[in-house]
Amino acid sequence: MVWHLTPRELRLAGQAYLRRMQREGLFVAWHVAALSRTDRLPSLAELLDPPTDEELQAMREQDERDFAAMTASHELAKVKKDG
């Protein structure tokens, strides 16, 4: 898949990845702060409950929307249409 991307598309994909990692870092920081204020921690099983198929699909769709918005803002859609 990476070999089919132009350098610009690869840069945009990298930026989307970094943005996602920043969001995950904020997610972790928020939960650390929230859990540090609790009197009793929830069980590890509750915390590690895997996402449902619907939640995974929603995350994938959000990633696709984020990437589409970035490419549109950089006019890649127009370049591909004309090319």
- Residue 80, C-beta contacts closer than 8 angstroms, at least 6 positions apart: none
Query: Is residue 73 scored above 80 in pLDDT?
Result: no
Q: Using the structure block, give the residue that is written with the tokens 């696709």.
A: 64
Domains in the chain, number: 1
Q: Does the structure show a pLDDT above 70 at 76?
A: no
Position 25 scores a pLDDT of 94
For residue 61, give its domain range: 2-82
pLDDT of residue 49: 85
Compute CA distances 53 → 13, 45, 58, 60, whole Å: 24, 18, 9, 11
Q: What is the tens place of the pLDDT at every residue in 17-72?
A: 999 999 999 999 998 999 999 999 888 888 888 889 999 999 899 888 888 887 77
Residue 77 clears pLDDT 70, i.e. is over it: no
**pLDDT surpassing 80 at residue 81:** no
| Residue-by-residue DSSP string for 47-65 | HTPPPPHHHHHHHHHHHHH
